[in-house]
A = this chain, B = another copy of it.
Amino acid sequence: MPTPKRTTVYDVAREAGVAASTVSRAFSNPRRVNGATRRHVLEIAERLGYHPNPLATALQSGHTATVAMLVPDIANPHFFGPIRGAERRATAADITFMLGFTEESADTERDKIERLARSVDGFVLASSRMPEATTAELAREHNLVLIDRQVEGLPSVVVDNAAGSRQIVDHLASLGHRSLVYLSGPHISWLAGERWRALSAGAEERGMTATRLGPFPPQVAGGGAAADAALVSGATAVVAHNDLLAIGILRRLAERGVSVPEQISVVGYDDIFGADFCVPALTTLAGPQEESGRAAVEILLTKGSTRPSDDGPRRVVLPSHLVIRDSTGPAPE
């Protein structure tokens, strides 16, 4: 067991010939101590290899200089971007970044929040699975920022699913498709609702029919059932809840000898790793993923410093754009 008895403020104070409080202030409140004294203290600290104990600091001050991000599933490449963006932003601000997984479960999510509550200054919740009421309730006790989810009264960062879904519809319409089916993700997923709403509204506008099927697990494995359901529906275009599902669908269709996009077009959401090299390459809605993580942490960081209710919680909506690849084509006939 390495337990090398780290140096403390007191060690530094003694060595520098000042009080512990001065050492503390030299680090955390520079303007409160004389420049010369400060330099001296810092030099001694350096020499002794002193680093403030973050636990002690946090215990006393109430600030942990740490933020946590919770994502449903580590295995979904979609979260790469947000995670990376959040991590970088936090690190840049000298804030410790912590990542946790909720295994797609609202209970796990809640548990983790409760358990980490005292150890972090705030949470970034990506694609939170918790019901609105729970989220709102937790938000009263904790600093929360949502990604890809909106809840009344809470700050959030989302990519523009409404506009993006319209782009999908327009794309399909322009290719002559008269109908589409949305292969939905979990019904508790806010995103699934949003996407469906936008797709069906867009479809109506274009005089297309839209159907929602599902729910399907938003994973590659969910693609089998989803593909079969789509086939039996007779639609010429399917929009999958996300790329994972879309890739699963492509595989299943290939297996069944259905050619994409000749017989059926497939669209996904997220533009994940692999969307460009699956076959056929996937047409999908892309967004500034990394930016969403960055923005979420940004909000968390400013939150502490500004007045709570300057003008409501911040809601960031990031632009999205359709990446057209090979999985969509003219409607058959």
Contact = CB atoms under 8 A, between A and B. Distances in A.
Interface of A: 1-4, 6, 51, 53-56, 58-59, 62, 64, 74-75, 77, 80, 83-84, 87, 96-101, 114-119, 139-143, 247, 250-251, 273-274, 277-279, 303-304, 308
A277 B6 contact: no
B118 A54 contact: yes
B140 A304 contact: no
Contact of A77 (B77, B119, B250): B77
A125 to B, nearest CB: 15
Contacts of A98: 98-99
A59 B59 contact: yes
Contact of A59 (B56, B97, B143, B304): B56
B84 A74 contact: yes
Nearest to A115: B96
A233 B119 CA distance: 55
Identical copies in the complex: 2
B59 A55 contact: yes
A59 B51 contact: no
Contacts of A143: 1-2
A87 B75 CA distance: 12
Nearest to A56: B59
A273 B77 contact: yes
A204 to B, nearest CB: 34
B74 A2 contact: no
Contacts of A278: 274, 277-278
A43 to B, nearest CB: 19
A203 to B, nearest CB: 29
Given A75-B273, A141-B4, A101 B115 contact: no
A62 B116 contact: no
B6 A118 contact: yes
Nearest to A99: B99
A114 B118 CA distance: 22
B54 A1 contact: no
Contacts of A96: 115-116, 119
Contact of A273 (B84, B274, B279, B304): B274
A64 B55 contact: yes
30 contacts: A1-B143, A1-B304, A1-B308, A2-B139, A2-B140, A2-B141, A4-B141, A6-B118, A51-B114, A51-B117, A53-B118, A55-B55, A55-B59, A55-B64, A55-B118, A55-B119, A59-B59, A74-B80, A74-B83, A75-B84, A75-B273, A84-B101, A96-B115, A98-B99, A250-B277, A273-B273, A273-B274, A274-B277, A278-B278, A279-B279
Contacts of A56: 59
Nearest to A3: B62
A75 B64 contact: no
Nearest to A80: B75
A201 to B, nearest CB: 33
Contacts of A97: 100
A142 B2 contact: yes
Q: Which 10 residue pairs spanning A and B have beta carbons closest together?
A: A99-B99, A274-B274, A55-B59, A75-B80, A279-B279, A277-B278, A2-B141, A53-B118, A98-B98, A55-B58
